[in-house]
């Protein structure tokens, strides 16, 4: 029998693929799948009501490890100004490669098949998500525009007040200064 590396247990075994039927592998697999499905469940909650937020590099540049594909993916989708939460994860879970890799992962690790569909997003769900994201983005842009307009109005009011104060000071103080300092007349 040849050496077999188990990515779940992070060890090499020499009893072939018999390792995957062992108690330690199956218990570690359950823990990994439990954590994985919890994160996916969190993302699935946003399918019906996507969340769009202002981009924050400390929070929105997170990555997610996909156990099925064995790769790191962006958790959110961002353009540098705004972020669709869990957009990258949901986008990845809808790809044919992820579907294929998920089936392979489940087969290779002899995982419980009833959990498999929880980590795959269907095309219909993806299309509905895209429609909802478009609405959420439009709403977010409208709110941002309104916020900018309010902020601009506040700045204009402050500038107007500053100009009025300056003008009143000039009217009161400047004539007095001219009489006190005749050399300023030239």
Secondary structure in 3-state letters for the chain: CCCEEECCCCEEECCHHHHHHCHHHHHHHHHHHHHHHHHHHHHHCCCCCCCEEECCHHHHCCEEEECCCCEEEECCEECCCEEECCHHHHHHHCCHHHHHHHHHHHHHHCCCHHHHHHHCCCHHHHHHHHHHHHHHHHHHHHHHHHHHHHHHHHHHHHHHHHHHHHHHHHHHHHHHHHHHCHHHHC
pTM of the model: 0.70
Record the tokens describing residue 141, joined without a space. Answer: 């842009």
* Residue 99: pLDDT band with limits 50, 70, 90: very high
Average pLDDT over residues 30-38: 89
Taking residues 138-151, what's their average pLDDT? 86
pLDDT band of 11, cuts 50, 70, 90:
confident
Residue range 3-23: mean pLDDT, rounded: 79
Residue 20, phi then psi, degrees to nearest 5: -65, -15
Sign of the Cα torsion 143, 147, 148, 149 reads positive
Task: For residue 21, report the phi and psi dihedrals to the nearest 5 degrees.
Answer: -90, -5
Q: Model confidence over 39-51: pLDDT tens digits?
A: 888 888 888 888 8
Q: Exposed, middle or buried, 158 (CB in 10 Å: 0-12/13-18/19+)?
A: exposed
| Summary mean pLDDT of the chain | 84
How far apart are alpha carbons 184 and 161 in whole angstroms?
A: 28
Closest by CA position to 43, among listed 92, 104, 103: 92
Please say whether the beta carbons of 77 and 83 come within 8 A: yes
Mean pLDDT within 108-135:
86
Phi then psi dihedrals of residue 172, to 5 deg: -85, -45
């Amino acid at each position: 029998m040849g050496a077999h590396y188990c990515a779940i247990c992070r060890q090499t075994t020499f009893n072939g693929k018999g390792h995957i039927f062992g108690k330690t592998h199956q218990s570690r697999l359950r823990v990994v799948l439990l954590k994985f499905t919890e994160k996916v469940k969190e993302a699935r909650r946003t399918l019906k009501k996507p969340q769009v937020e202002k981009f924050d590099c400390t929070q929105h540049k997170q990555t997610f490890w996909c156990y099925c594909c064995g790769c790191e993916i962006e958790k959110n989708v961002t353009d540098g100004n705004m972020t669709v939460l869990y957009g990258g994860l949901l986008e990845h879970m809808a790809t044919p490669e992820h579907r294929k890799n998920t089936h392979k992962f489940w087969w290779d690790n002899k995982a419980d098949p009833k959990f498999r569909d929880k980590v795959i997003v269907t095309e219909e769900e993806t299309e509905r998500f895209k429609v909802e994201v478009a609405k959420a983005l439009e709403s977010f842009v409208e709110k941002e525009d309104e916020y900018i307009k309010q902020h601009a109005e506040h700045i204009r009011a402050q500038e107007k007040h500053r100009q009025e104060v300056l003008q009143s000071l000039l009217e009161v103080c400047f004539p007095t200064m001219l009489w006190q300092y005749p050399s300023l007349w030239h």
